[in-house]
Structure 1
Amino acid sequence: MKVVAIGEALIDLLSSQCLQHGSSSNEVFTKFAGGAPANVAVAVAKLGGKSYLLGKVGRDQFGHFLIDALKRYGVSTDYVGFSETGKTALAFINLDKNGERAFEFYDDNAAHNDIQFSDFLAVFSEQPKVISLCSAMLANPELHKCSMDAIYRFNQEGSIICLDINYRPAFWKASDSAADIISDAAEQVDIVKASREELITLFGIEQIEAVVKQWINKGVSLVMITDGGNAVSFTTANFNGIYPAPKTNAVDTTAAGDAFVGGFLYRLAQENSSTSTFFEWVANFEYVLKAINFATKCGAHTITQFGAFDSLPYHTDIEGKNVHREPVQ
């Protein structure tokens, strides 16, 4: 199955103070291609899967840079368009001594907010696919409506839908409504991935268990919760468990969650051909555990390098072989 990631591609601007692990009065920023959905698409492509990005970039130097980077790593840009009204968004990133990132988004009039329902029409078909989207696609009324309409259509055609909550308050103009909107969307998909920190922010620590139970009762097949370097927890209607994250030295955690999602969806897409096989697959503890094992290795590899696209692993990196392949030209 092919994987279609939906949403933003943007420019990550990483401070030289982060890259050099020190302070300097002559701070400069290095640009990296990024954006959570774009990272997922690249993660799948670098692992050897067939992936697409559906989104919009600005008709500016950054937009062209992003499209070139996506193509270089093997992502199909058939569903990527140029916004005639918005600019490519920027994210300035600072890192602490543990590699944890802090974002400062410049996304006023961002190109990715110009995604409309008509942009989905080329993707709809009777052929099921794996769909990946983040909560940024719910962050304003226009995106929310077209995303929910698209989720309905994808469900009708038998696609497998994954929602990575990936909550970024800066994207939300009415953040007090985010929890209800995200939870409602989560009930319409097959897989939900979130970080523990996001769930605490949105629902409160005492409500996490109840929220997960509610999603499962509404028909979500799998909920996965990451927690930095701690174990991943997972819940289905048939079983639940935890899986330890590999120990590694983090230098930049920017795309760790996206690498996890990309790795998981790559395995899912390789091992399934329809929703009927998926429902059997997700009910099998060993299948889910092996996919999570693979996904955690993808995340662990990514945080050992700077940048997003560049740091995402190839399949050989996860297999442990000392082989490095250059991006496709």
Structure 2
Amino acid sequence: MQNKLLNRIAQLENRKIMVVGDMVADVYLEGKISRISREAPVLILEHTKENVVPGGASNVVHNAATLSGIVYAVGIVGQDYAGQELVRILKDKKTETAGLLVDYNRPTITKTRIMAGGQATVRQQIVRIDKEKKEALDDNMKKALKDYITTHIVDMDGVVISDYGSNTVAPHLIHHIIQTCRDKNIPCIVDSRYNVMEYNGVTVVKQNESEAAAAVGYEIVDQASLLSAGNTILERLNAKAVLITRGPDGMTLFEQSGKMTHIPVINKSEVYDVTGAGDTVVATMILALAAGATYEEAARLSNFAAGIVVKKPGTATTNLAELREAIGEHFE
């Protein structure tokens, strides 16, 4: 298996991947604890810096680009600082950003974390402020997204739909993308937080354990319920494979052939921060499938990639050199 995985890594480079979904700007406002306010029993923070990090579908884009894919980002941003910064960051990674359309009637989806710390104290998040418009996109934006996708999707080696529930991926778009991928034999993976059962016909479904449980309507509490959930999603969506990520318990792959593979987590004791690890899994898996990997090879590569990023603080990425090193160390 080691040689197979190492050989696949060399084939990930320059695969054309389209990522469609909810582009999120994760904003970190850093502050130094100054004193207690006279107005209320709250901390006063002296602002020190502000940092924007790709989140949501844009984190999938960021991960795929760092793994040397040629990535087309497709989604909506607002005419605001967060959106401009998100586009700048992705452009710096050589991402194709013409598909990041500006909607003047809605803000960029933004999750702002207020981070506080001081001398001899631990930096920690004290509050998060989310900003997004919940209403559906207007017809002009829907048409513009569909037109861009239609023009470029036929040239792709793989497609990701990253649905965080913020209405970028409308039902007509879901069906259009999946049908086109099926017609052109392009692997397509979906990661949907709330709406995965709408993705009938998609190639691969990625869910974490709680999302899978919500999709099937019962808790996953043991091996029997896990098997039932995975096979139910597989059958209902007519998918080729379902990958359920299970935190410290690794991940389980269900294939249409009936094969089930459990993949244990890598370096469990070294886990540091799981933020964004699911996006790393999706990005790695679609690149591997685009390179001709089997579903099991792609899942195992994504498991190694996730094992690397959880040892890094915050929303992190990995690259081909780190992936090679992790696989080499594991099989020593």
Q: TM-score, normalised by structure 1?
A: 0.74
- Tell me the SS of whatever aligns to 2:253: strand
Q: Please tell me whether the aligned partners of residues 51 and 76 of structure 1 are also in contact (alpha carbons under 8 angstroms).
A: yes
Following the alignment from structure 2 to structure 1, what is the Cα–Cα distance between the partners of residues 314 and 79? 23
Deviations 1:56-111 (A, max 9, x none): 2111111110111001122211211211211112113589x9x999965321368x
Instruction: Please state how far the C-alpha of 1:155 moved relative to its aligned partner.
Output: 2.8
- Tell me the SS of whatever aligns to 2:22: coil
Where do 5+ consecutive residues of structure 2 fail to align?
A: 1-14, 32-41, 116-121, 327-332
Following the alignment from structure 2 to structure 1, what is the Cα–Cα distance between the partners of residues 126 and 299? 23
Find the counterpart in structure 1 of residue 131 from structure 2: 106
Moved more, 69-78 or 123-132: 123-132
Q: Please tell me whether the aligned partners of residues 114 and 127 of structure 2 are also in contact (alpha carbons under 8 angstroms).
A: yes
- Tell me the SS of whatever aligns to 1:76: coil
Find the counterpart in structure 2 of residue 118 from structure 1: 144
Instruction: Please state how far the C-alpha of 1:27 moved relative to its aligned partner.
Output: 7.5
CA separation of 1:135/1:126 partners in 2, compared to 1, >3 Å: closer, same or farther? closer
Question: How many corresponding residue pairs?
Answer: 283
Find the counterpart in structure 2 of residue 164 from structure 1: 191
Following the alignment from structure 1 to structure 2, what is the Cα–Cα distance between the partners of residues 101 and 236? 42
Q: Please tell me whether the aligned partners of residues 130 and 159 of structure 1 are also in contact (alpha carbons under 8 angstroms).
A: yes
Following the alignment from structure 1 to structure 2, what is the Cα–Cα distance between the partners of residues 130 and 236? 18
Which of 101, 115, 131 aligns to 2:159? It is: 131
- Tell me the SS of whatever aligns to 2:299: helix
Which of 217, 229, 239 aligns to 2:235? It is: 217
Q: Does 1:150 align with 2:157?
A: no
Q: TM-score, normalised by structure 2?
A: 0.73
| Bigger strand fraction | 2
Find the counterpart in structure 1 of residue 9 from structure 2: none
**Identity level (%):** 16
How much is the aligned-residue C-alpha RMSD, in angstroms?
3.3
Deviations 1:33-66 (A, max 9, x none): 2222211122111111111110121111111101
Where do 5+ consecutive residues of structure 1 fail to align?
A: 18-22, 168-177, 272-280, 282-286, 322-329
Rg larger for: 2
Instruction: Please state how far the C-alpha of 1:30 moved relative to its aligned partner.
Output: 4.0
Find the counterpart in structure 2 of residue 172 from structure 1: none
Find the counterpart in structure 2 of residue 274 from structure 1: none
Find the counterpart in structure 1 of residue 56 from structure 2: 36
Which of 205, 218, 222 aligns to 1:192? It is: 205
CA separation of 1:217/1:143 partners in 2, compared to 1, >3 Å: closer, same or farther? closer
Following the alignment from structure 2 to structure 1, what is the Cα–Cα distance between the partners of residues 44 and 270? 27
Alignment of 1:288-327 (within 5 A): 288-308=295-315, 311-320=316-325
